[in-house]
Every structure is written in structure tokens, then in C-alpha cells.
Chains A and B, each alone.
Chain A
Amino acid sequence: MLLLVLKRILLGFITLFIVSLITFSGVEVLPGDACTTYLEREAYGAALEACYERLGLNTPAHERYISWAAGVLQGDFGYSLSGEMRINDVLGPRVKNSMVLASASILIGIPIALLLGIITALWRDKLPDIIISTITIFSMTIPEFISATLLILIVAIWLEWLPGIVIVPTGVSISELLPNIILPVIAISMIMTAHMARMVRSSVIQVMASDYVQMAILKGVPYWKMVFKHVLPNALLPAINVVALTIAWLLGGVVVTEVVFNYPGLGRLVIESISNRDLPVVQALAIILASIYVSINLIADLMTLMLNPRLKSLQIKK
């Protein structure tokens, strides 16, 4: 068991290592480097040399990769290109802000998704299912920037209930941030909830059709007892992994949502650093976002492993 967990963690690290290679070589292979893109038309002669010198770009690529990776392992992402600022100082408050946004969305989204998924599955093809399923299809297919824009138009402009755009500096405390994040949280959790509710629905439906549930019905187990004791534990287990993958996939949508609401998080930093051609920051962001993805998946895998005795013995046999 312990061996298996260690193996999963190791695999996660290998994935991150490959990610770092991909981003590093991607920036290397694509035309234009940090200096030529940053200096633009002045990229010649002494200025270019000085820039190369300053960023250490005149050493061979593999040496730069090793020193960069060594820094990252110690939690140091080096310096950003534009502001001469330490990337760690730039990232810190942004990571915090995005974490607030993401965790609020997940905390609100998961219970609602479970509820909606179970309701639609138990009343399959009846009125509640038809109504909820139609709404979920709409909210999961419409792009984040459209639902976010519509939310601003309706709630902030027409009804004037909430501020439409976040106008707080990057380093504010969480309590000051809270009233501002209501609309962004709704926008993100709407799409997340829709995806998860759909998966919970089909998972519950699958379990409801299984032999042991039929057996429980025949045995005369009361309906709700059967739902809570036999169906839900078995239906939610496989959903954990899928939910994790969904959350990770939606990271991309968080970027867009943050831009729409002008929210000072990692997502807006992605856009800002790419617009400024700040490649060192982009590399740092790639590693950070990839590690979030890898750790969410790792946690989900470990949770499934721990909660499912069958899978545990199966994997060990292998």
C-alpha cells in the first residue's frame, strides 16, 4: 500500500519534470527569446548583449535549465523580466487570491453538484431531471466569458446588486476580498457544478442498475436506506477521479473568468505576463499550474485507493 502511494507520488514528480522540460524547450525552440521580444526594435548590439548578460542567456541551454530547475526545487523562480522583481514576490499574493476564488467555488460547487446529480438520477427522465439536466447542459456548454459577461450585465448593471468588476489592489486581505468575489465564484462554480452533476448522475444511474441494488430492492430494504447505504457510497467513489480531472481542466476557465472580472489572481497574471512577453514568469506559471493539476489528481487517486478496499487488493496483486 505504502509502496503504491510512493509510486504514485513519484509518477507525479516525473510528470512535473517532463512539464518543466517541455516549457523550457518550448520557449527555447519557438522563435524569439526573452530579450529580443522584450527589447523589440532595440534588440541589437550592446543592449541585446547586456540583456543576455543580465538574464544569463549567453550560457548553453542545458546549463541554464539545470540552474533554473535547481532554483525551482528550492522554491525560487528567479527574476521577472520587466519589473526586475523577484517572481516569488509577484506570485505570492496572486496565488493566495486565486486560491480563495478556487476554494470558494469548489466548496460551493461540490455539495450542489452532488445534490443535483443525485436528484436527477433518482428521478431519471421525470420532470426534475428534465429541468435540471437542461439547465446543466446550458451552463456547461456556454463559455465562461459569456456567462461571466451576462452575470455582470444582469446582476451588476441592470439590477445593480453587486459590483461587476473587482477593483481592489493585489495584496488585500481576504475579508476585503470577499464581497468582490461573489460574482466570479458564481461564474466559475456554475460551469464546474454542471460538469460534476452530470457525472454524478450517470454514476448513480449505473449503480442503481447493478445486481446488488436489485438484490437490496428484492430483499425489501427501504428505498432511502438503500439509496444512502448501498447506492451513494458505490456511486461517488468512481466520481472522485472524474471530479478531480474536471477541476483541473477548469483551471483554464478560471484564467478567462479572472480577466472578465479584473480579478487580481494567477489567471490575470498569465495574460499580463504573456502580453509583456515575460517568459520567466510564464515558465514559473506553467510549473505552478501543472503542479496544481498533478496534486489534485494525486489526491483524488489516493482518496479512491483508501476508500476502495477492492481496488487496493487489486492493485497490490498486479
Chain B
Amino acid sequence: MTLEKEQKKNNLQKVYEVIKTMASKPSGFIGLSILLFHVILAITSPLYVPYDYKAIDPSLMLQAPSSEYWFGTDSLGRDVFTRTILGGRTALTVTFFGSLIALLWGGALGIFCGLVGGKIDDVVMRIIDAFLSIPWILAMLLIVSLLGTTTLVLIPALGFFYGKGIVRVARAATHDVIAKDFIVSARARGHSNLSIIWNEILPNVRDAIMVEGAMRWSWMLLGFSSLSFLGFGVSPPTPDWGLMISNARGLMSFAYWAVLAPIFGLSSLIIGINLTADAFAKALGIDRSTKAPV
């Protein structure tokens, strides 16, 4: 009991230390602050939005930014500021749960493959390679166009497609660990496979998998907003940055504000997540810079 408590305390301390290391560098600090800002904004923004995000008013069409409408209005007379501060909510939720799913199935399958090796491993890796060679956008578009664009489709589909790269990373990390002495001795002590995975392998591959998951989060956000931009993501009138950019694009020669506000929102969130993921990798001592974004 006491041992378990101590373990928990150590874990918390480790988390605290990792965050401290991340924030000690300017890029990590900026990333964490942007991410925190966006998360807080996404949670609290419905409490203080100035206007209704779906109130259409033709008389207020394409108004330039003013003290009343800070970021102007769009082609349907909706307040751009309102829609911009609400625009990250769907993206953050979908991609957060999506990367969680990617992390779980990718990590589990990767560890399994690394552990069993042999024929099963070969076959699974062939299939993963094949999936990797289908451009994500084609596969996602196909799934979404046949199954619909609800979050219940988007989350597992994104989770599946961004998890296959994690399989490779988890497998490679498991391969590195599996030949080590402590695994051999755990086997010699007669531990079950499950116990070896949980107590010996997982703590050693966890960092690599988590860093990979954090990286996937930013790519998935990119993928999700690309889908929205192409008209295959969330459906209107839901405020979403990708969708807002695509709608306002046609009129941007005279209403640039309607396109710049969501661009700023989305870019800052993606940069924030990226910097955070980079700092996270560095704090855990993992060098990702020589890896391709697969």
C-alpha cells in the first residue's frame, strides 16, 4: 500500500518535472502557453460569446471590423469574433480523442508485434506498410463520404488512420527493450507475458509512444481542418476554423477579416501543439528530428 502510494507520488513528481523542463526553454514555454490558452478558451468561450454564432442577418453582411463587431461579420452577417473563439471546440475535442485512440491501438499492436515477432509480426507490418502507402486524405475522404461526417465517425476514423505510424514506433521501441537483461531475468523468474508487458516493457516504451501521440495530435488537427476545409468535416452552421476559411475564401478580396481571423486561430493552435510536442520530446530525451512524418 505504502509502496503504491510512493509510486504514485513519484509519477506525479515526474509529470511535474517534465512540465518544468518543457517550460524552461522559450519555445516550450510559448507552446505550452498557447495550448493552455486555447484549451481554456475552448472550455469557457460559450460563457462570454457576444453574439449567437448561427444568427443570420443579411443587413449586417460583410461589415468591416468595428468596436461593435471586433473581427467584422461574414457573408451571412454572422459575427466573426464569436465564431472564431468558438471555432476550436470541435477541432480540439475530435483530435484529442482521436489521438487517444491512435495512441492506444497503435501502442498496443506495436508492443504485441515487437513481442511476438516472427510470421505474425511480418504479416502485420506488411499490412501497416500498405495502409501507410494510401494517402491519408483519400482514405479519410472515402470513409467520411460513405459513413457521414458526424464526430462518431470522425474520431475513430482519424484515430485509426493516425495510429498506424505509432504501431511502427511502438514496435521499434519494444524491439530495443526486449533483448535487455531485465526482461530475460523477469522471464527466468517465471513472470507471465502480461506482467512482463505491464511492468517491464510498458514503462520503457511509454515515453516514445507518448511523444509520438503528441506529434500525431498536431498532424491530426491539420488533417481534421483540411477535411473541414474541403467540406468533408463538420457540417455548417457549426463554427469551425477550416470550414470558416473555406467559406470566406471566395470573398476575401474585400472581406479579408473573415478569412484572417480563423486562419490566426487555427495556425496558433497548431503551432502551439507542435511546440509543446517538440518540447515534450526533448524533455523526455527523444530525438524526433530525423524522422519522417509518416
Interface residues of A (CB under 8 A from B): 14-16, 18-19, 22-23, 26-27, 30-32, 37, 137-138, 141-146, 149-150, 152-153, 157, 195, 198-199, 201-203, 206, 238, 241-246, 248-249, 251-252, 255-256, 259-260, 270-271, 274-275, 277, 282, 285-286, 289-290, 293-294, 297
Contact = CB atoms under 8 A, between A and B. Distances in A.
A18 B270 contact: no
B226 A144 contact: yes
What's the interface size class on B, roughly? 35 or more
A271 B135 CA distance: 13
Nearest to B289: A202
B289 A201 contact: yes
B266 A143 contact: yes
A18 B130 CA distance: 6
Contacts of A271: 141, 230
If over half of A's interface residues share one DSSP class (helix, strand or loop), that class is named, otherwise mixed; here it is helix
B130 A19 contact: yes
Nearest to A294: B133
B286 interface: no
B134 A256 contact: no
Interface stretch (B59-67, B80-88, B143-151): B143-151
A198 B291 CA distance: 10
Contacts of B42: none
Contacts of B245: 145-146, 149
A294 B131 CA distance: 11
A270 B138 contact: yes
B73 interface: no
B274 A26 contact: no
B290 interface: yes
Interface in B237-294: 242, 245-246, 249, 252-253, 256, 259, 263, 266-267, 270-271, 274-275, 287, 289-294
B222 to A, nearest CB: 5
Given A142-B270, A256-B230, A246 B145 contact: no
A141 B270 contact: yes
B57 interface: no
7 closest Cβ contacts across the A-B interface? A245-B292, A18-B130, A202-B289, A252-B137, A293-B133, A290-B133, A30-B146
Contacts of B256: 153, 157
Q: Considering residues B133, B229, B242, B291, which has the most beta carbons from chain A within 10 angstroms of its beta carbon?
A: B133
B259 A15 contact: no
A142 B141 contact: no
A251 B54 CA distance: 35
B142 interface: yes
Contacts of A275: 145
B129 interface: yes
B126 interface: yes
B225 interface: yes
Nearest to A296: B133
B218 interface: yes
A202 B290 contact: yes
Given A30-B143, A138-B271, A145 B226 contact: yes
B34 to A, nearest CB: 12
B55 interface: no
B246 to A, nearest CB: 8
Nearest to B259: A149
Contacts of A277: 145
Contacts of A138: 271
Given A144-B226, A202-B289, A153 B252 contact: yes
B56 interface: no
Contacts of A199: 289-290, 292
B65 to A, nearest CB: 16
B292 A249 contact: yes
Contacts of A143: 222, 225-226, 229, 266-267, 270
Given A15-B126, A255-B137, A289-B138, A142 B271 contact: yes
B230 A259 contact: yes
B136 interface: yes
Nearest to B144: A274
